[in-house]
Amino acid sequence: MGAFDIKFDVSQLAFLLEEEGRNIEQFLAGATADIDAGSLFLEGGVKREVAAKKLVGATGLYKDSIRMTKATWDGQYLRGGVEVAPPADVYAPFVEYGTGPHKAEKSPMFWIRTLGPWVHLVIAPGAGTNPKTGKKQTADQAEKALAIGIGRKIERHGLKGNFIFSMVFDRDADEAMNIVTELIWERFSRSVDAGRAA
């Protein structure tokens, strides 16, 4: 799952500052921090929704892997956003978009790696007797078996998408851009005023 991006075209502002002989690099460094403020606002919204829906990893790995992307400048746009970083990026598309039933393609280790931390934090089955085999198992074995079982169920029946990122961006992107726009315009105005005072 790629990052959900926000962008702001500062090329005209940078051009005007350059025409006035202002320090563009200083302006861009500050405007980058302004984009980061908008990204941080969206990151908070996504994390709150993940926690409210009690999604896989809402108490740990998935929620902790949601982070803003650092702003970049491509000559026209300053870009920022929010992404799911490793290791949760492996199953983030399933959480966001869901998946239909599909042929069992994933190895047991895939499910242990992706669902194991969530099983450990949220379900924590503990040691006991395996209900299928009747054999004693350690807590670690129980967690691995449960992660594989949940993974296999996802493969057989699919998984409903939650569309958290999409919902938050639909709801909050305008407000994030208002924050960014206000901060960048204030910064631009200060740069112009500082030049006039000099």
CA–CA distance, 164 with 62 (Å, rounded to integer): 12
Its domain, for residue 50, covers 4-89+163-197
CA–CA distance, 118 with 61 (Å, rounded to integer): 7
Residue 95 belongs to a domain: no
- Do 82 and 20 share a structural domain? yes
Residue 58 belongs to a domain: yes
Q: Which of 187, 147, 155 is nearest to 57 (CA)?
A: 147
Q: Which region among 27-36, 85-94, 142-151 has the lowest average model confidence (pLDDT)?
A: 85-94
Residue 193 belongs to a domain: yes
- Do 132 and 44 share a structural domain? no
Model pLDDT, residue 107: 84
**pLDDT, average across residues 53-58:** 62
Residue 20 belongs to a domain: yes
**pLDDT greater than 70 at residue 28:** yes
- Do 135 and 64 share a structural domain? no
- Do 189 and 153 share a structural domain? no
Residue 94 belongs to a domain: no
- Kindly report whether the peptide bond that precedes residue 86 is cis, defined as omega within 30 degrees of 0: no
**pLDDT, average across residues 126-154:** 86
Tokens of 139: 């807590």
Percent of the chain whose pLDDT exceeds 70 = 92
**Chain-wide mean pLDDT for the chain?**
84
Band of residue 60 on the pLDDT scale cut at 50, 70, 90 = low
- Do 54 and 19 share a structural domain? yes
- Do 169 and 125 share a structural domain? no
- Do 65 and 107 share a structural domain? no
Model pLDDT, residue 3: 66
Instruction: For 155, list phi and psi in degrees, rounded to 5.
Output: -65, -40
Residue 173 belongs to a domain: yes
**pLDDT greater than 70 at residue 165:** yes
- Do 45 and 138 share a structural domain? no
- Do 106 and 58 share a structural domain? no
Model pLDDT, residue 46: 92
**pLDDT greater than 80 at residue 183:** yes
Number of domains composing the chain: 2
**pLDDT greater than 70 at residue 27:** yes
Band of residue 34 on the pLDDT scale cut at 50, 70, 90 = very high
H or E segment and range at residue 157: helix 139-157
pTM of this prediction exceeds 0.85: no
- Do 78 and 108 share a structural domain? no
Band of residue 197 on the pLDDT scale cut at 50, 70, 90 = low
Residue 119 belongs to a domain: yes
Task: Check residues 95 and 167 and name the one with the higher pLDDT.
Answer: 167
- Do 173 and 134 share a structural domain? no
Residue 96 belongs to a domain: no
Residues paired with residue 80 on neighbouring β-strands, in sequence order = 6
- Do 134 and 182 share a structural domain? no
CA–CA distance, 109 with 166 (Å, rounded to integer): 30
